[in-house]
Structures are given as structure tokens and as C-alpha cells.
């Protein structure tokens, strides 16, 4: 794990900088411009001030309406809030599901969690609501023309909807696909202590190994999930650049402007 990417907050997890990543053509992503995180509902006043001091000026929330109502963001003062739900109704990732709901759905087949997440990633590439959300995300990125001012984007766990947001943003900037994949997988390093704690607690409660296996599938990221999404982008849409242009509606001028704003 690259520790200098972690933004330390008391009331949040998986807060990470996307600055410093190299592009294929020799540039680097600027620091203090792109931040990916998990939920903001538990931020302390000190956390909020830290994000303001860090330069955050926009909060992009990819969660569903139910998630937003259940755990509203504690938006730092002076930060513009953008509600851009990837899924039209429920949280398909199950990051916000109750323990009882999860036990009911994921206690019989030890592949059900993995298979469910594969479906979720395919949906994030094909659902119209997701495409609209990611299009509007880019509109927010393009509007951020202030030096050293950052767009923060998040969902509940900061790994799936947020991970695909990072995939699209870094692809638009020309970051190498393998570097983008590594950033996506970094979530597992960041959340490893929490996952270990959750697994131990589940065993203590006497929950089945099948359920614990499925929880790991739901609460972590996987190369398989990333591959499921990128396979659709590559086979059905012609690749990331074509997807950005044809599906998310980015023009050549938009790409040029993004690179001007976010690359050194």
C-alpha cells in the first residue's frame, strides 16, 4: 500500500489521493485534485476541517437515495454537494444492507456473493442511471478549474461505484490501465484490518463459513470484478476511450480540458 495516498480521517475509511499517477504520455496526475473515499456520514468536525484545508470544493455522492437518507453526508463548509446515484433505486452493491438481510441472502451458496458482485459491475457499465451519473461526474470535474482544489467522490464503501468512477477519470487522463487496476485493488490493503475484524466477529457469532466467504466477496474488491467491467467496456463499446466518448458523452475538447486541469 502506498501510504502517502491515504488521507487520514477519524470518521471515515478508504480516503485516498489519486495524485501522482503517471500517464502513458509522460505526465502525472496533480495532487489535491482528485480524492476517492467511502462515506462521509461519520466525519468529525476536525475531519471536515481537514478536508476543507486539503482543498476539497466538491462532494460527489454516488449512493442511492435510501443510502443518502439513512446516512447523510457531513458536507464540509464551503463544499458543493452533488447527488449522482449510480443505481436508480437500491444499493445494488449491498454495502448498506443490514446484517439480517445479508444472512438471509448469502448463507447457502458460497459463490453467491462473488457472482452477485460480478453482476453489479456489469450493471455499472450498462445501466442508464450509472451512465448518467458518471457523465455528470465528469461535468463536475470539468467545472473544477481552480488550482489545488479537489473533487471528492464516494459511495458507501468507497470501492465499487467509487472504483469505477476512478477507472473512468484516470482513463480519461491517460493513466496506464495496469496502474488504474492497481489503484482499484489498493482498497483491499486499506480495509484489510476491518475485514479481519468483521470475519472474526462473524465466527464469534457462529455464522457459517459460507456466509463469511460471501461477506468477503461483498466487502472487498477483486480482479474478477474489475475484469467483468472492463470486458464489457472493451467488447461491447470498443474500449475505454470509445466508452468515454460514445456513452458518457465526452468530447475531444473535454478530454483536452480534463488533462489541462488535472495533469502536470
Domains in the chain and their CATH numbers? 3-262 (3.90.190.10)
pLDDT digits (tens, 9 = 90+) for 1-34: 446 899 999 999 999 999 999 999 999 999 999 9
pLDDT digits (tens, 9 = 90+) for 194-241: 999 988 998 888 888 898 898 899 999 999 999 999 999 999 999 999
**pLDDT confidence of residue 155:** 97
In this structure, the strands spanning 80-83 and 56-61 are: parallel
**pLDDT confidence of residue 203:** 87
**pLDDT confidence of residue 95:** 58
Length of the chain: 264
| Residue 180: closest CA among 220, 226, 137, 211 | 226
CA distance linking residue 178 with residue 175, whole number of Å: 8
With contact defined as beta carbons under 8 Å apart, do 35 and 59 qualify?
no
DSSP classification of residue 263:
B
Bridge partners for 82 per DSSP: 60
CA distance linking residue 53 with residue 35, whole number of Å: 14
Of 45-54, 62-71, 170-179, 194-203, the poorest mean pLDDT is in 194-203
Count the helix, strand and coil residues of the chain and give each as a percent rounded to the nearest 5.
55, 10, 35
The mean pLDDT of the chain is 93
With contact defined as beta carbons under 8 Å apart, do 160 and 124 qualify?
yes
**pLDDT confidence of residue 96:** 55
**pLDDT confidence of residue 1:** 42
Amino acid at each position: 500500500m502506498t501510504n502517502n495516498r491515504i488521507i487520514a480521517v477519524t470518521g471515515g475509511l478508504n480516503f485516498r489521493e489519486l495524485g501522482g499517477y503517471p500517464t502513458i504520455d509522460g505526465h502525472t496526475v496533480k495532487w489535491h485534485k482528485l480524492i476517492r473515499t467511502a462515506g462521509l456520514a461519520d466525519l468529525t468536525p476536525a475531519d471536515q476541517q481537514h478536508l476543507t484545508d486539503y482543498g476539497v470544493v466538491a462532494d460527489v455522492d454516488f449512493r442511492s437515495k435510501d443510502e443518502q437518507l439513512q446516512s447523510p453526508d457531513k458536507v464540509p463548509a464551503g463544499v458543493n454537494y452533488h447527488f449522482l446515484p449510480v443505481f436508480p433505486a437500491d444499493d445494488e452493491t449491498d454495502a448498506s444492507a443490514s446484517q439480517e438481510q445479508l444472512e438471509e441472502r448469502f448463507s447457502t451458496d458460497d459463490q453467491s456473493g462473488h457472482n452477485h458482485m460480478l453482476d453489479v459491475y456489469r450493471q455499472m457499465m450498462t445501466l442508464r442511471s450509472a451512465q448518467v451519473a458518471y457523465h455528470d461526474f465528469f461535468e463536475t470535474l470539468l467545472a473544477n478549474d481552480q488550482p489545488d482544489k479537489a473533487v471528492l467522490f464516494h459511495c458507501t464503501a468507497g470501492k465499487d461505484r467509487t472504483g469505477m468512477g476512478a477507472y473512468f477519470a484516470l482513463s480519461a487522463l491517460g493513466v496506464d490501465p495496469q496502474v488504474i487496476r492497481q489503484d482499484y485493488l489498493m482498497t483491499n490493503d486499506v480495509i484489510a484490518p476491518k475485514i479481519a475484524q468483521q470475519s472474526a466477529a462473524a465466527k464469534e457469532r457462529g455464522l457459517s463459513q459460507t456466509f463469511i466467504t460471501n461477506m468477503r466477496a461483498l466487502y472487498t474488491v477483486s480482479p474478477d470484478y474489475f475484469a467483468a467491467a472492463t470486458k464489457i467496456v472493451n467488447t461491447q463499446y470498443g474500449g475505454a476511450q470509445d466508452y468515454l466518448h460514445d456513452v458518457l458523452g465526452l468530447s475531444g475538447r473535454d478530454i483536452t480540458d480534463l488533462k489541462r486541469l488535472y495533469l502536470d
